[in-house]
Amino acid sequence: MNENKTNINWYPGHMAKTKRLIKENINLIDVVYEVIDARMPYSSKIIDIDELIKNKTRILIMTKSDLCDLEKTNKWVKYYENKGYNVLLVDLEHNKNVNKILTLTNDLMKEKFEKDEQKGMLKRRIRALIIGIPNVGKSTLINRLVSKKVANVGNKPGVTKNLSWIRVNDKIELLDTPGILWPKLDEKNAFNLASLTAIKEEVLPIYDVVEYILRKLEKEYPNMLKERYKIEAIDEDIVETLEKIGKKFGCIVKGGIVDYDKVITLIINDIKTGIIKNITFDEVSDYE
């Protein structure tokens, strides 16, 4: 694994605050929904999560299954199951597998709640904490579970700003939280996070992010390069490749010169909007 840490000073203060608030509220919580992106099951997992949530019962929820490379991501499901996690792979866009979350939650909580009842404690709702890095779909998950729009969502990091309790039904309530990350990012993880919109692209040099995306596609998904960008291989000098793509897509300014910023935006948007999909950027073999 690449141990280089990016030295960019980017860690926003509100993330430290969110972590503190989660620590303060953790004793109220029965179960934790740890949300990660199925396209990066390693890079999108909070590094110091155990420190934050202690040994609470948890469900690892992988979102965006509609956008991931299922073959690769299923290896990650096994990887985490072997480590003892309860894992659910869900597609929040098309509402697939979402009802399994509440069923599993009830199963996991049954014994505890029965015992509490026997002890004469008042019946109360199960309290679930939703936690994850930015833009993985935490608020979308809440809206799906509640079956209406109660939380703001958006296809960019940092939409949710505060912690808030949301009642799902008379059995369960959820605590939505803003996305959190950690101050120093491993370089490879940082590029995955920037490529798949979990940190603002501008945090890293945008040309490097796009080069990373194209080289990753060339290595893992060469057919996508051919189908979408009509190119067989990435040039050693990435500018030449951007030039070719720019000409094909008409990203041209006056005088027939390629507008590189437009090419960059095109590629970033292809990932954001899911035109480029069925991709998983973390390789399980790197971590076994």
**Distance of alpha carbon 134 from alpha carbon 129, whole angstroms:** 15
Q: How far is the CB of 225 from Mg ion (least distance, A)?
A: 32
Which single residue is written with the structure tokens 């709702």?
Answer: 125
Residues that bind Mg ion (rule: CB under 5 A) add up to a total of 4
139 binds Mg ion (CB under 5 A): yes
Binding range to ligand GTP, per CB under 6 A, among 4-12, 69-77, 156-164, 238-246: 156-164
The window from 1-9, 35-43, 59-67, 135-143 that contacts Mg ion (CB under 5 A) reads 135-143
Task: Note whether 177 binds Mg ion by CB under 5 A.
Answer: no
Which of 73, 157, 193, 210 is close enough to bind ligand GTP by CB under 6 A? 157
Phi, psi of 257 (to 5 degrees): -85, 140
Over the Cα atoms of the chain, what is R_g?
A: 21
Among ligand GTP, Mg ion, none, partner that 157 touches (CB below 5 to 8 angstroms by kind): ligand GTP
Give the CA distances from residue 107 to residues 86, 111, 113, 166, 272, in Å, rounded to whole numbers and listed in that order.
12, 8, 10, 21, 35
Instruction: Give yes or no for residue 136 binding ligand GTP (CB under 6 A).
Output: yes
Under the binding rule (CB under 6 A), the answer on residue 150 touching ligand GTP is no
When binding is defined by CB under 6 A, the residue of 139, 189, 192, 195 that contacts ligand GTP is 139
Tell me which of ligand GTP, Mg ion, none is bound by residue 155, counting a contact when its beta carbon lies within the kind-specific cut-off of 5 to 8 angstroms: ligand GTP
Q: Which of 68, 137, 196, 225 binds ligand GTP (CB under 6 A)?
A: 137
Residues of span 234-263 touching Mg ion by CB under 5 A = none
CB of residue 177 to Mg ion, shortest distance in Å? 8
Residue pair 189/42 in contact by the 8 Å Cβ criterion: yes
Question: In this structure, are residues 209 and 194 in contact, taking their beta carbons and an 8 Å threshold?
Answer: yes
Q: How many other C-beta atoms lie within 10 A of the C-beta of residue 98?
A: 19
Distance CA 204, CA 5 (A): 12
Q: Nearest approach, Cβ of 161 to Mg ion (angstroms)?
A: 9
Residues numbered 265-284 forming contacts with ligand GTP, rule: CB under 6 A: 274
- Say how many residues make up the chain: 288
Amino acid identity of residue 275, one-letter, is I
Q: Report how far Cα 156 is from the mean position of its chain's Cα atoms.
A: 11
Instruction: State the minimum distance, in angstroms, from the CB of residue 197 to ligand GTP.
Output: 8
Site residues for ligand GTP, window 51-90 (CB under 6 A)?
Answer: 63-64, 66-67
Helices (H), 69-176: 70-82, 99-118, 138-146
Which does residue 274 touch among Mg ion, ligand GTP, none (CB within 5 to 8 A, set by kind)?
ligand GTP
Report CA-CA distances (Å) from 144 to 69, 153, 168, 272: 23, 12, 10, 21
Q: Are 127 and 168 in contact (CB under 8 A)?
A: no
Interface residues with ligand GTP (CB under 6 A) are: 63-64, 66-67, 91-93, 132, 134-140, 153-155, 157-160, 178-179, 274
